[in-house]
Structure 1
Amino acid sequence: MGEFPLLFVFSLLFSILPISPARDGIALNDTLQEDETIISSGGIFEMGYFSPNNSLNRYVGIWYKKIPVKTVVWVANREVPLSANASSVVLRIINLSQLALLSDNNDVIWFANMSLSRSVQNPVLQLLDSGNLVVRDGGDLNPENFFWQSFDHPTDTLLPGMKVGFVTGHEVYLTAWKSDDNPAPAEYSVHIDNTGYPQGFVMNGMAVTYRSGPWNGVRWSGVPMMDKNPIYTYALVINKHEVYTSYSLNNNSIISILVLTNTGFIERLVWVGGMKNWITFGKFPTDSCDMYRACGANGICNIYNFPICGCLDKFLPRNQEAWNIADYSGGCVRRRGLHCNNGTDIFVKYPGIKLPDTKYSWYDETMTLQECEQVCLKNCSCTAYSRLDIRNGGSGCLLWFGDLIDIRKLSDRGQDIYIRLASSELDKNTTHGFLNGSKRKHGNKSELLAASLSSVMGLILVGLSLMFCLWRKKTEVLHDHEFELPIFDFPTIARATNNFSADNKLGQGGFGPVYKGVLENGQEIAVKRLSKASVQGIDELKNEVIFIAKLQHRNLVSLLGCCIQREEQMLIYEYMPNRSLDLFIFDHEKKKLLDWPKRFNIINGIARGLMYLHQDSRLRIIHRDLKASNVLLDIDMNPKISDFGLARSVGGDETGADTSRVVGTHGYMSPEYAVLGIFSIKSDVFSFGVSLLEIVSGMRNKGFSLKDQYHTLLGHAWKLHGDGRSAELVDEHIVAEPDDLSQVLRSIHVGLLCVQQYPDDRPTMSEVVQMLTHDAVLPEPKEPGFFTGRPLSASTQASSSSSTQPAACSINEVSLSLVDPR
């Protein structure tokens, strides 16, 4: 009888205590062993160790718990698999700041850094029902306060609620598995491009293979099947800090995912329980017309035609012989050239298409279609416009600059675009354009009257533009394209600058002074006034007009107009309130205002601006004088490249040239240019690398001095990198979060790749942009150019065809011209 009370107590305890459910995470001192899993609280997802298909390698991953077909949606150690004969491993949190996969002797096999903004004593790993693996503070009552999450580092699968794009300071993108047996990253990836108006890209390495079309308020405009459906709803979020897309499921009982396959297709998969299998609900690219740039510039693809490629109406093949043998890469050109300065260009409507590539475009959500037309008409670089936001009944203005890329005919839910043509293309019966094979539409009297008035106004403007057009050298006119530049009268500019008051003077260049001004409508401007004593300035001023008037990019300064009256010759620019970058990074007090996110944004902006000049503008332009003082900062500290007075263009597929007149600034010129007069896009890459290292370090390359044999910032940075001490280069005023440090060090690495001695070793700017925003392994940099402040190395001189020593260079910040004695 004495045992009865004790047995009763135990029975009572077991009846009261709940049976412990499967755990959904691990705590600080806990581990996930090879034979264990964790399961989300609702039993939807499971995490553990797995081997894909026929592979003997093992990985840590997440898959659907209740689906009998094992569907892995995320892999941790995708680049460092565990072999079949590997010793036992565990997953755990170490050092309060890292999620790590450890071997039995505590070697780190894989780890994920966490961004800790405060001290955390109780970090826990938790698998959520969304499929998101998160690390949070176990004592934090806010369940959404994550220090790290797998949703920020996806593999090949986009789950509901996951974001793709630019999120919290870094890019989130998908990468395909190499094969069904190997989850390592393949060449195919999915990105949101926000260079212009946002659109989705599938890329194979650096090459675009598919484009979604721009977002139109409801869906990606090139994907009609994304219209309202019972399964999912897409969204695009654009704000000051983020640009990303995501989707949500309309019915929680449905299981649907988006997967990037190892063959480069995006598939929408839906699980059908009755069939016990996934079915493909959609697949992109859908056909040959979905392949990026299938028909070249200004070409149009129609999958129902044979051949599928044609030219837009009023356009002709650029190379008819190539076109005849089905080589459409050259695209099409206008049948009749534009005459923008005459004001006689018109816009013709082309209906039912997938809108062109918006990589270099401009958007305003408030403008009407009529206002959109007027804005485009006033800018000779503008070649087309469209209304975009169909959700709001057709509001919003989207402008295109340059050639129109990647257009296809959409038989259902295509959109309209208005393309700029010469007025001579307007015949008696039509005011609307049409696609090849489509029916002509007749315009009404008001449209004809508007077109006539536009032509008359254009003739009036001819006289005003004539003097300006005489500036242009015949050899520098690109085909028959002209540009229009608003002309300001001298009294207007004099009033705006308070009669060129010394108080309004912003600076001085080789061309003359620059003044701040305010127009009568309140718009702030910067006025570059040619000095009467300037000899070099007239050439620089002409260069500015020739190049900047044709360029449109968010990271290039905008030219608003000119003033030419008697001896006065001035250019009018947008005013940049924060002036130039060098005033911040080299100033002991002002540099404190530039934290790492701001500096990284500046680095990225400069890189994208240069990429546009080298690769995507209608002219291939080499700046030749990129430096911190020629990078201007707007009110939000966004960078804009300025001063194209020394720029040169190269034609066709050329990427460089040589000259007997070396121009540029000491400390930023590449060795081959300063010594041999050979300039190329790689010369600009070198200058960018110098600027990048200056931004990170807060030190000038020119005049740099340390008590060792390295007398340039470049040499010092290279030495630190080789010793594994790159962090010592970082400006002491940069307070980088732990998560930012790898980005800082990666930027230094990219900078060193840009300043390598030989041009062929340097990356292109498009490669630089990818390196800065992606986490791929970088090659080791070779010795940088040491020409600044000392002769070139002996090996460099021996490899050169010339024994010429570096020409003497000025050590001030003024751009200089040097005659190379070759």
Structure 2
Amino acid sequence: MEGLAVLLLCSFMLSNLSVSIAEGTLNTTQLIRDGETIVSVGGKFELGFFSPGSSTHRYLGIWYRNIPVQTVVWVANREVPLKDLSGVLKLTDQGILVLLNFYRSTVWSSNSSRPARSPVAQLLNSGNLIVKEKNENNPESYLWQSFDYPCDTFLQGMKLGRNLITGLDRYLSSWKSPNDPSNGNFTYRYEVGGFPEFVLREGSVVRFRPGPWNGLRFSGTPELKPNSLFTFGVVFNEKEVYFSYKLRNDSILSRLVLTQDGFWQRKNWIERTQAWEVYVTVQMDICDNYALCGAYGSCNKSNSPECSCLKGFEPKLPEKWDTKIWLNGCVRKTPLNCSSDEFIKYSGVKLPDSRQSWFNYSMNLEECKNICKRNCSCTAYANLDIRRGGSGCLLWFVDLVDIREFTENGQEIYIRVAASELDQTESFKSNEKGKMRTAVISMVPIAALILGLALILYLWRKARVKKPGLLASVPESSSNGKTHKEDLELPLFDLATISCATNNFSTTNKLGEGGFGPVYKGIMKDGQEIAVKRLSKSSRQGLDEFKNEVIHIAKLQHRNLVKLLGCCIQGDEKMLIYEFMPNKSLDFFIFGMPFSSMGNVVQLLSLSAFAFQRFYIKTSMSNEMALICAKNSTDQSKSMSLDWHMRYHVINGIARGLLYLHQDSRQRIIHRDLKASNVLLDNEMNPKISDFGLARSFGEKETAANTKKVVGTYGYMAPEYAIDGLYSIKSDVFSFGVLVLEIVSGKRNRGFCHPDHQLNLLGHAWRLYSVGDSFELIASPIKETCNLSEVLRSIDVGLLCVQQSPKDRPSMCNVVQMLGSQGPLPQPKQPGFFTERDLVEFSSPSTKHKLFSSNDFTITQLEAR
């Protein structure tokens, strides 16, 4: 009887379980086993385990329920299949979905943006699997949703694009084959740099882009427009950029798919044929192949050959052009002269690649033209939005690629050419009409126009120099020993205003001090909080660094770079005025503050870096290790307050800031001193890279340089830079990798110690990775609540960035993509500066003129002349 009672109880519990599952929900006491499913409330979608095609592997996925052809729209464990029928899906008390295998090891898991109280998982009739609080129905409050992690299918209600605040990247990746849903060769995503654009890539190679959004459609797909089947649009604001669509009739089964062979298609279910039929394929013809005609080439499928050069341009390699090898593109017939250049209008075209463009929504076309005209690097301009006669401004500063011509619904663009090319075009038209005199006479007004523009430009510059409060003049030494002044476009504050704002530079207003000098908090009369960086008269970072920072950061505008508000140059005083960052710097949060009882250690750290190094050399190894370990024993209260979600947000923000410096700013900029103390945090904990006193600019085609004056901070400096003085964008990538590992572990690279070895943090991370135990690197305060897949991915990315050879390190573009994706990563090689315990090497003759620094400030020693 007792056994029968147990059996009846189990039967009752199972019956209740099936009823709950049928309602499309799963709570923390229930399981979904292989063979069981949950169905959305409207009955449109079903979630369970399946085997694709002829595969015997098992996957957790979502598919259309009521059609005979199993059509999977989402897969959870697409990279880690189950090999048997033992899979189990459960929801933890923390609101995390976990997929377990036969050994009850986690194969896949979701994440959660915040702690859960009473979580439930639910499959919606949209096909979206969500985790939410039990009585919460606001989509903005979901703890997690599958729509944020699409696979190869784009459904109604999804957002395809990026969250610019959190860095969440919703993109599509194709299946590898009909039998394998793992990440295939093709991805389709919004790439943000200049003006955001969708890009379809095969691996890292761009294959297609639909063109920038112009308010009505993507400029390169005029055939795609709202119709009786669906409507669509793009949302672009300071928080996010995404594409979405809505079906006019919810009874229609329609989906967008990135196919295994790289086609972007809309497919509709046809009841009559009981099959999916292709409604439209976005790539229509040969001209949709990315950059088919090269730079300044234009493609027209109606022409033979399809490629031709734009007016004022000619084939770069005519012998190859004649054989239909167009990739080398076209070059200008006549070099530009800047002040006298003109613009040729093209109508009915697909706008060129705009990922490295500049844009402004508030300008009109005339203002756009004036800006482009004044900037000699500007190659073209166009309206951003073509609605209501056109508005906004889109500027290009690079070679124009991937242009094609349409018979209808194209867009207008104005391309810069030498004035003589415009004259020849007009002359040709006149010849056609038999009006040779017009071409000659037209030279007079053109010449007058050029002179007039030159006069206007001269008066404008003169007026601008006289305009008070907008320019800072910094003395600059010339080669002959004399000085002159260089004008910098930056608001200029007077000393009295800054002195009043900082309470006469009171010690109570002092935020800290570095190699540059002290930093003070100030409050302006209008209530604005500022940070004032005051050049110390005894500072070893002098006028060059001050001027360098002004020149570089004044021209930079990005959400992850600190904003320079202005400067103060009066008498011997030189100050930089920044936006105030209330949450201090990143090192305060990930490392905490030293214990006050450290005594001699704190005193030691207050010494100059050179004295610090000398102390190390004279200290025995055992004392040295004790000192390093003491330095690393910090108050973790602040470190604990920075959870993994915020740390990951910081990592992604720093990556996007570096990507802007390396690729998307007007000049390629290498920071050269990226470290935790140079990353500031605003009131919402958004990271902002600061301190550009050591930065260097590169030309567009430059990639590396060499210096006799090595600057930066040991522990963050790349090997080739610290040893040979060779720096490049890969130097910053190395520093970023160090920073990522510090954020994950909560430990300093150079302040790291371990009882089992004498490796620094990079060596320790590499050692753990090599034995498959990277989990041990994670900081204790976040180990239990972090998103494990994100943390392990961050460690892998960090190790890829600190590889010994610069050529092995990824670019920041690749880093941003790797952090935002879920695909497989390359295998990292051994890091540079594997260990740093032999500190005597720093005193060798080859390094005596290089920089020595603690983790808290940077100084330099100049090489004697």
Q: Which residue does the alignment assign to 1:225?
A: 223
Q: Which residue does the alignment assign to 2:809?
A: 762
Which residue identity does 2:77 align to in structure 1? N
CA, structure 1 residues 150+610, in 2 after alignment: closer, same or farther (shift >3 Å)?
Answer: closer
What are the superposed Cα offsets for residues 591-647 of structure 1, whole Å, 9 maximum, x if unpaired? 788665554344323323433554566765544333345556677665555555545
**In the alignment, is the contact (CA less than 8 A) between 2:186 and 2:201 conserved in 1?**
yes
**In the alignment, is the contact (CA less than 8 A) between 2:489 and 2:554 conserved in 1?**
no
Deviation at 1:40, TM superposition (A): 3.0
**In the alignment, is the contact (CA less than 8 A) between 1:614 and 1:681 conserved in 2?**
yes
The answer to which of 667-676 and 496-505 deviates more is 496-505
Which residue identity does 2:168 align to in structure 1? H
1:97-496 correspondence runs (5 A): 97-102=95-100, 105-108=102-105, 110-115=107-112, 117-120=114-117, 123=120, 125-136=121-132, 139-140=134-135, 142=137, 146-166=142-162, 170-317=168-315, 323=321, 326-337=324-335, 347-377=343-373, 382-391=378-387, 393-421=389-417, 427=423, 453-460=452-459
Deviation at 1:674, TM superposition (A): 1.4
Counterpart Cα distance in 2 of 1:472 and 1:423: 38
**In the alignment, is the contact (CA less than 8 A) between 2:803 and 2:832 conserved in 1?**
yes
**In the alignment, is the contact (CA less than 8 A) between 1:316 and 1:332 conserved in 2?**
yes
**In the alignment, is the contact (CA less than 8 A) between 2:167 and 2:820 conserved in 1?**
no
Secondary structure at the aligned position of 1:300 is classed as strand
CA, structure 1 residues 462+316, in 2 after alignment: closer, same or farther (shift >3 Å)?
Answer: farther
The answer to which of 212-221 and 22-31 deviates more is 22-31
**In the alignment, is the contact (CA less than 8 A) between 1:497 and 1:515 conserved in 2?**
no
**In the alignment, is the contact (CA less than 8 A) between 1:98 and 1:114 conserved in 2?**
yes
**In the alignment, is the contact (CA less than 8 A) between 1:98 and 1:111 conserved in 2?**
no
Q: Tell me which of 812, 816, 819 is aligned to 2:860.
A: 816
Counterpart Cα distance in 2 of 1:408 and 1:120: 55
Counterpart Cα distance in 1 of 2:62 and 2:173: 16
What are the superposed Cα offsets for residues 534-574 of structure 1, whole Å, 9 maximum, x if unpaired? 99856657866887788776655688999999x99989897
Q: Which residue does the alignment assign to 1:10?
A: none
CA, structure 1 residues 370+131, in 2 after alignment: closer, same or farther (shift >3 Å)?
Answer: same
**In the alignment, is the contact (CA less than 8 A) between 1:611 and 1:766 conserved in 2?**
yes
Which residue identity does 1:456 align to in structure 2? L
Which residue identity does 2:107 align to in structure 1? W
Secondary structure at the aligned position of 1:743 is classed as helix
What are the superposed Cα offsets for residues 41-61 of structure 1, whole Å, 9 maximum, x if unpaired? 333233444443344444343
Counterpart Cα distance in 2 of 1:672 and 1:460: 48
Q: Which residue does the alignment assign to 1:666?
A: 714
Question: Which ranges in structure 2 are unaligned for 5 or more consecutive residues?
Answer: 1-17, 430-437, 466-471, 480-485, 594-636
TM-score (norm 2): 0.73
**In the alignment, is the contact (CA less than 8 A) between 1:381 and 1:550 conserved in 2?**
no
Secondary structure at the aligned position of 2:383 is classed as strand
The answer to which of 681-690 and 548-557 deviates more is 548-557
CA, structure 1 residues 771+411, in 2 after alignment: closer, same or farther (shift >3 Å)?
Answer: same
Alignment RMSD (CA, Å):
5.2
What are the superposed Cα offsets for residues 344-382 of structure 1, whole Å, 9 maximum, x if unpaired? 555543322222333233443333333434455565555
Counterpart Cα distance in 1 of 2:33 and 2:724: 62
Question: Which ranges in structure 1 are unaligned for 5 or more consecutive residues?
Answer: 1-18, 434-439, 475-483, 795-801
Counterpart Cα distance in 2 of 1:326 and 1:527: 60
CA, structure 1 residues 498+136, in 2 after alignment: closer, same or farther (shift >3 Å)?
Answer: closer
1:540-559 correspondence runs (5 A): 555=560
Higher helix share: 2
Which residue identity does 1:195 align to in structure 2? G
CA, structure 1 residues 699+349, in 2 after alignment: closer, same or farther (shift >3 Å)?
Answer: farther
The answer to which of 317-326 and 554-563 deviates more is 554-563
**In the alignment, is the contact (CA less than 8 A) between 2:75 and 2:181 conserved in 1?**
yes
The answer to which of 193-202 and 27-36 deviates more is 27-36
Which residue identity does 1:626 align to in structure 2? L
Q: Tell me which of 728, 749, 752 is aligned to 2:799.
A: 752
Q: Tell me which of 736, 739, 743 is aligned to 1:691.
A: 739
What are the superposed Cα offsets for residues 470-519 of structure 1, whole Å, 9 maximum, x if unpaired? 98999xxxxxxxxx9765798x7668757999649999887889999999
Q: Does 1:93 find its partner at 2:90?
A: yes
Secondary structure at the aligned position of 1:624 is classed as coil
What are the superposed Cα offsets for residues 220-244 of structure 1, whole Å, 9 maximum, x if unpaired? 2322122221111113234554332
**In the alignment, is the contact (CA less than 8 A) between 2:298 and 2:310 conserved in 1?**
yes
Deviation at 1:183, TM superposition (A): 1.7
CA, structure 1 residues 525+372, in 2 after alignment: closer, same or farther (shift >3 Å)?
Answer: farther
Secondary structure at the aligned position of 1:663 is classed as coil
Identity of paired residues, percent? Answer: 49
CA, structure 1 residues 561+148, in 2 after alignment: closer, same or farther (shift >3 Å)?
Answer: closer
Deviation at 1:30, TM superposition (A): 4.8
Which residue identity does 2:90 align to in structure 1? I
**In the alignment, is the contact (CA less than 8 A) between 1:357 and 1:406 conserved in 2?**
yes
Counterpart Cα distance in 1 of 2:446 and 2:360: 24
**In the alignment, is the contact (CA less than 8 A) between 1:31 and 1:92 conserved in 2?**
yes
Q: Which residue does the alignment assign to 1:773?
A: 820
Counterpart Cα distance in 1 of 2:376 and 2:798: 36
Counterpart Cα distance in 1 of 2:400 and 2:217: 21
Deviation at 1:178, TM superposition (A): 0.9
**In the alignment, is the contact (CA less than 8 A) between 2:193 and 2:660 conserved in 1?**
no
Q: Does 1:78 find its partner at 2:78?
A: yes
CA, structure 1 residues 517+189, in 2 after alignment: closer, same or farther (shift >3 Å)?
Answer: same
**In the alignment, is the contact (CA less than 8 A) between 1:298 and 1:331 conserved in 2?**
yes
Secondary structure at the aligned position of 2:22 is classed as coil
CA, structure 1 residues 113+600, in 2 after alignment: closer, same or farther (shift >3 Å)?
Answer: closer
Deviation at 1:333, TM superposition (A): 4.7
Which residue identity does 2:734 align to in structure 1? F
What are the superposed Cα offsets for residues 730-772 of structure 1, whole Å, 9 maximum, x if unpaired? 667x779946454344323322332234434433322222221
Secondary structure at the aligned position of 1:664 is classed as coil
Deviation at 1:249, TM superposition (A): 0.2
Deviation at 1:652, TM superposition (A): 7.9
**In the alignment, is the contact (CA less than 8 A) between 1:387 and 1:394 conserved in 2?**
yes
**In the alignment, is the contact (CA less than 8 A) between 2:662 and 2:670 conserved in 1?**
yes
Counterpart Cα distance in 2 of 1:231 and 1:471: 65
Secondary structure at the aligned position of 1:214 is classed as coil
Counterpart Cα distance in 1 of 2:676 and 2:82: 47
Which residue identity does 1:45 align to in structure 2? F
Which residue identity does 1:220 align to in structure 2? F
Q: Which residue does the alignment assign to 1:7?
A: none
Deviation at 1:282, TM superposition (A): 1.6
Deviation at 1:317, TM superposition (A): 4.7
Counterpart Cα distance in 1 of 2:308 and 2:578: 40
Q: Which residue does the alignment assign to 1:604?
A: 652
